[in-house]
Structure formats: structure tokens, C-alpha cells
Amino acid sequence: MIRDPVAVASLSGELPVADNAPLSPHPEDDPAYQVFIDSLSYLPPEEIQVVREAYLFSEAAHRGQLRLSGEPYITHPLAVAGAIAEWQMDVEGVVAALLHDVMEDTSVGKVEIAERFGKPVADLVDGLSKLDKIEFQSHEEAQAENFRKMLMAMARDLRVVLIKLADRHHNLQTMAAVRADKRRRIARETLEIYAPIASRLGLNKLFRELQDLSFQLIYPMRARVLARALKAARGNRRELLSRILEGLTGKLDEAGIEARVFGREKGLYSIYRKMLDKRLSFSQVLDVYGFRVLVNDVPTAYLALGALHGLYKPVPGKFKDYIAIPKPNGYQSLHTTLIGPHGTPFELQIRTEAMDNVAQEGVASHWLYKDSEDFGAELQQKTTKWFHSLLDLQSATGDSSEFFEHVKVDLFPHEIYVFTPKGKIIALPRGATVVDLAYAVHTDIGNHCVAAQVNFKLMPLATELTNGDRVEVVTAADAHPSVAWISHVKTGRARSKIRHYLKTAHHDESTALGEKMLNQELRTLGVVASELPVSSWKNVLRDSGNKLIKEVYTDIGLGFRLAGVVARRLLAREDTPQPADKSPASLVIRGTEGMAVQFAPCCQPIPGDPIIGSIWKGKGLVIHTHDCPAIRKARSAKPTKWLDVEWEPEPGKLFSVRLLIMVQNTVGALGRIATEISRSGTNIEHVNMEEKHPGLYTTLHFTVQVASRTSLARLMRSVRRIPEVVRITRDQGLTA
């Protein structure tokens, strides 16, 4: 029985087949086959013969299989190969398109394909086949793994993605017999993954068709209603469109500019998205129609722009120059929005004929338009580089589902363009921040960035960048990524690099903390860790299932094992009581241990405060002050879970502290307090205020950074001397 490929992994989007189908007629009698063979006239006769042999091979392999539509299965690979032939792809690509389902749905293997048609063809077919021999826990995991495999094949050979897109396009066209829920699932997947890939590769014609087909499958009623409205509008606006077209043509002729001018219509899905995003009715979407001007060269494009801006007034802020700054997919054009007759806005695109070829066919123009071969080769190199950047995400994440989500983020860029100090242009998704740019330049710059000069002004890392910004990233050797960064980055690359760093750093810091805690416990039992025999560790490793001593330390630091239990197991003294003459030693911390040691936000302990700690699974050591009200019940309920902690005499970092300052409502009081805090060398992290007694007093809430309790006391004394200050206290949540 033939498998249902959609149920196994719908990433290839194959339609299910049925058994016991009748034999296909002789290919020479099939009109579709004849049209296909005639379309191969760009290939030499000997290569066309290879394609004929591949068709017969595929037809024989699929013989007896029907698609759910009732057609012989061979009609599908023939249609895919026909689409590939329209791009004038080489013989290996056409043969691979004919054979793309053979390995997946028949008993034919890669070795047999390699023997008959060569290793390059076998590699292409293998890259197009799903991972259906592996058992996955869920459809999502299968989807992510299949996409990962496809991406790796794409990075090796761009023909894989072109065949894959043609395959998906034909499947969407022939889905009437597929169950409604599967139709919607495959269509949504196309909108999420395949349509954006087509756009990213510059295949704009295919991109629009994939979007519209998917829209019709997901929302058939909405698509029909919108199509009727569009048809009606086409008739109602015919006179207006003809008038605009005549005006554009006449103005260009008057300026002596040779050009082709024609109207174009927005796709159904594009109109639907605009209505949805901007909450418009169809009648309010005024730019349903646009116009395109094709000229001979770049200087003429700018001349045409000037002439047409003289005919119709441009809408401010709606001009985009993609000729000077091409999109990452190679797209080049001038875009402007003009106000036509009766105040009707319309979009105008101006580009050369060669640019239009690339705009419609993207990387496929490398095969299709031989006169633009140099540009096509450059575009292929850029595309391959993009695929490799996605593979970098794969190595950084390791998790298939997480990787899949990162890629989906990168497939919806809506680019902005920013400049480095050396003038290099970097494309980023709209809403990207300084951190996104830092990681786009280099991972090390991202890991150590602290701020940026945006248009020569010092700005924080969370600053959202806009088109044309000049950005210089400021780095510091001791700076490291923060968990908070994940919430404001937009690119999958930045998100995956931050997560990778945090996982690695947390692991290393937890290992060091676990070793320190175990050594302390052993000292309490009167043993020096370095004097333990190797056999003691062998027993612990065997019982715990760990392979390395470092793994035991990590488990202790993360709270998955108790240091006391491990110490007693090392000494083979499971129930040994605490020696009477030895009190438990305090754990000494500096505060620079990183994520393995966390300071509770409820009481914000600082050096000099009496402190206590508790190990939490997965979090490590959490530090509170001894008198923190948030832990009173927990300490009394489970006293053994808490351990005494001490500050090292010279702590190594600054700590955040909240201050409550009540002041008289006088002009300049806030400024004088802020000046006094800064004069003492203390950094102000945050400040806000509340007016508890209107007209009399205001309570200021400051969050400042201090090195110790001593420096905090010194700061509070200096602020208290300001005449307007009525009271200053430290906020430790003691009223909770």
C-alpha cells in the first residue's frame, strides 16, 4: 500500500495516491507529454533523449498509482518538470523534477537513480525526498526535521528549492480531492514557509500565485467574494485607469523617453492582507491597481521618474529607491505613489527590462535570461549565502522546532536598510534593534555590545532602527548577553545566538558554583576535596549516571542534587551526623558568579547585608537578605533547604538598590537629588514619582547601583543633607 505522504510530513505537500490504477497510455499519445517535450527546445537533442528516458523510468516506477483526483500519478511529476522547463533549467534539474517522488513513493533507491542518471541527479532527488523512515513524536517535529533536511540540500544546490516550489505550486492547483483539513494545513504551511521562500529568492510571480492559491484554499468564500468585487471594480474603474495610462504614456513621449507602460492588478491575498491589517473595506483600498514603466537603462529610469512626478504629484514618504539599494533577493526598481485624477492614489514602478526579468523570476533568471547571466550568478551566490546563514541558526539552536521558528521569523523581513560607519548596507527586518544589527555584523560584536551611536547620538541597545540610520555599535570586553535581549530582538539569528550563549554561560557558571558548594560541604565533614581517592568518585558517577565529575558539579549548581548527599556518598557515609565540633561553613560569594547565583528582586541584597541562600531546581542559588519577609514561611517550613551565605571581603560588581525619598514639592528638587547621587559616583538605573500628599510632598522611587552597604549608607547621608529631603529609606519589600 502506498503511503499517504501528506500525513507523514506535509512539508513536501505531495498529494496522496491510490493503488490499482490503470496503465498510462504510450507517452507519444499524451498531449501533455508532447507539450512538455516541445518546451525543451533550448536543450540539445542528446539531453532531450535523457529526459525522455527519465520520463519512462518515472512512469514505470509510478505505474499503478493514482492521485486522489483520479489522474495517473505521472501527471504530477510531468507538470513539475514542465514548470522547471519554463525556467529553462539544465537537463539534471528537469530529470530530477521528473523523478522527485520516485524514492519516496516507490521501491526505487538512490543507488539505482545514480546508476541510471548520474550522482548529481540522485543527490537532487534525495534532497527532495522526505524523512519518512524516521519515527517522529509529532507532526510539528516531522515538519521541522524535513525542513532542516530540505534547507541543507538547498544550500548545496539551488535547483532543489526551485523544484520544491514548482512541486508545491502544482499540488495547490490540484487539491480539490484532498480532505478539507489537509488542504488548509498545507495551504497555511505554504503561506508560512514556501511563499516567503519564493519571495526571498525573487520569484515574485510564483510568490503571488502561491499566496493567492493558499488564500483560496484556506478561505474559499472570502476569496470568491473578493474576486467578484475586484472584477466589478475593474469595470467601474476602466475609464479612470485608461486615463492614467494615457497620461503616463503621453508624458513619457513628450519627454522623449522610450518606454513600455502597462497596468497591473494586486493579488487577492495582497488586497485581503491590506484590508485586514489596516481595517479597511474593499472600497477603501484605493491602490488595487498600479502601473509599471519599463525602460532601457538606469539613467532613463530616473529621467522617467522626474517626468512623471511633474505630471502627477507624489505622496511624501512613499518613494523607495531599490535601484541604488537593491533588496537582498536582487530586486531593483523605483517605487513611488502618485495622486491621479479625482485624487485617486496609485503605485508606480519604474525599472529596466533586465530588472523586470529578475523581479519576476529571481534566481531562476540565471537560466532563463542568458543576457543577465553575470547578475544571475551574483544573485545565486547571495542566495546560497543566505541559506548558509540559516544553517548557522541550525547549529546554534540544535532543537528542530526552535530552529524552525527562527527561520519563519527570518522569512518575513519587510526590510529596512541601515549603514555601518564604513558605508556597508545591512538589511534587517522592520522593528529590528541595535542588538539585531550587532549580531548581523558578527557574533562576537553581538555578545559584547553595550550601546550604539545611531546617527552620531548615543542610544541604548533596545533602540528600534529605521531606514537609512547610520549605526556604530559600541562594545565592551566584559559585557555579555542578557535574557532581556530576547524580548526585543527581531531576527532569528540574534535570538538563537543569545539563547546559545545563555545556555552555555549558565552551564559553566553552575558547574563552578556546584564545585564550590561540594567543597564547602566536604570541609564541614573534615575532608579536603583534593585528597579524595579516585574510587570514591567512581562510585558516585556509577550511581548518578553521570560520565564526568563536572556533570555532578553542574547538577549541584543547578539544584538537581544536594551537595550534602553527594559529599556523604563520596565518603560512603550516607547517614553520618554532622560533627559536633563543626558548625556548617558559610558559602562565600562575590556576586560576579553570573546566572548561577541570582539576587532576589523582593529584597535586593547587597554586600554588607546578612544573607541566606536556597537552591532551586534549574535556577541555581537564589540569595535573599536574612530578614526578607518573602521567605519567612519557606524558611520555617523547610529549614534544611537553606544555607548560610557570606559576602567576600571585596565583592566584584555593582548591585541594584531601591530607595524611597520623600521630598517637599519645590522647583528643582528632583534635579538637585539626581545631581547629588551622580556626584557620589552612583549610577541611577530608574526613577519615577508618586504624589501622596498633593501640593505638599512627593515620594521619589530611585533604583541605583552601589558596591556595598557602606557605600549605600554614605550615599543616603549625602542625600539626606539636601534641604528639600524629608525622609530617605531603603525599599526592601519589608512591608510585604
pLDDT digits (tens, 9 = 90+) for 118-148: 998 998 888 777 544 444 445 565 666 666 6
pLDDT at residue 78 tops 80:
yes
Structure confidence at residue 630 (pLDDT): 82
* 650 closest CA partner among 728, 597, 589, 561: 589
- Entry field: residues in the chain: 736
Higher pLDDT, 243 or 282: 243
pLDDT digits (tens, 9 = 90+) for 289-321: 789 999 999 999 999 999 999 899 998 888 888
pLDDT digits (tens, 9 = 90+) for 30-76: 788 888 888 888 889 999 999 999 999 988 888 888 888 788 888 99
Cell of 498: 543569545
Higher pLDDT, 175 or 502: 175
Structure confidence at residue 77 (pLDDT): 92
Are 379 and 355 a contacting pair, CB within 8 Å?
A: no
pLDDT digits (tens, 9 = 90+) for 466-502: 877 888 988 887 777 877 787 788 887 888 888 777 7
Give the distance from CA 312 to its chain's centroid: 40
Give the three-state DSSP class for 263: strand
Report the distance separating Cα 351 and Cα 275, nearest Å.
28
Higher pLDDT, 14 or 670: 670
* 417 closest CA partner among 336, 324, 493: 324
String of DSSP letters for 415-428: EEEEE-TT--EEEE
Alpha-carbon dihedral angle through residues 414, 417, 418, 420, given to the nearest 10 degrees: 120
Structure confidence at residue 329 (pLDDT): 67
pLDDT digits (tens, 9 = 90+) for 626-647: 888 888 777 777 776 677 788 8
Banded pLDDT at 671 (limits 50, 70, 90): confident
Higher pLDDT, 363 or 409: 363
Banded pLDDT at 23 (limits 50, 70, 90): very low
pLDDT at residue 543 tops 50:
yes
For the segment 653-681, the average pLDDT, to the nearest whole number, is 83
- Other C-beta atoms within 10 Å of 422: how many? 6
For the segment 721-732, the average pLDDT, to the nearest whole number, is 87
Higher pLDDT, 161 or 543: 161
pTM higher than 0.85, yes or no? no
Structure confidence at residue 12 (pLDDT): 38
Report the distance separating Cα 16 and Cα 337, nearest Å.
46
Higher pLDDT, 384 or 296: 296
Structure confidence at residue 212 (pLDDT): 92
Give the distance from CA 158 to its chain's centroid: 21
pLDDT digits (tens, 9 = 90+) for 193-229: 788 888 777 788 888 899 999 999 999 999 999 888 8
Cell of 550: 563536572
For the segment 561-577, the average pLDDT, to the nearest whole number, is 63
Report the distance separating Cα 328 and Cα 600, nearest Å.
46
Banded pLDDT at 97 (limits 50, 70, 90): very high
Higher pLDDT, 282 or 590: 282
* 326 closest CA partner among 388, 382, 287: 382
Are 701 and 731 a contacting pair, CB within 8 Å?
A: yes
Structure confidence at residue 349 (pLDDT): 92
Structure confidence at residue 384 (pLDDT): 58
Could you tell me what percent of the chain has a pLDDT over 70?
75
pLDDT at residue 108 tops 50:
yes
Q: What is the set of active-site residues?
A: 104-105
pLDDT at residue 522 tops 70:
yes
Question: C-alpha distances in angstroms, 68 versus 139, 185, 449, 705, 729?
Answer: 22, 17, 56, 69, 76
For the segment 555-582, the average pLDDT, to the nearest whole number, is 61
The structural domains of the chain, ordered by start, are 5-215 (1.10.3210.10), 224-368 (3.30.460.10), 383-496 (3.10.20.30), 499-647 (no CATH), 655-731 (3.30.70.260)
Structure confidence at residue 4 (pLDDT): 35
Residues 6+ apart with CB under 8 A from 714: 680
Banded pLDDT at 5 (limits 50, 70, 90): very low
* 625 closest CA partner among 648, 608, 649, 638: 608
Are 401 and 140 a contacting pair, CB within 8 Å?
A: yes
Average pLDDT, the chain: 77
Structure confidence at residue 375 (pLDDT): 46
String of DSSP letters for 443-488: HHHHHTEEEEEETTEEE-TTPBP-TT-BEEEEE-TT----TTHHHH
pLDDT at residue 582 tops 50:
no
Report the distance separating Cα 200 and Cα 385, nearest Å.
12
Of 382-386, 400-404, 620-624, 641-645, the one with minimum mean pLDDT is 400-404
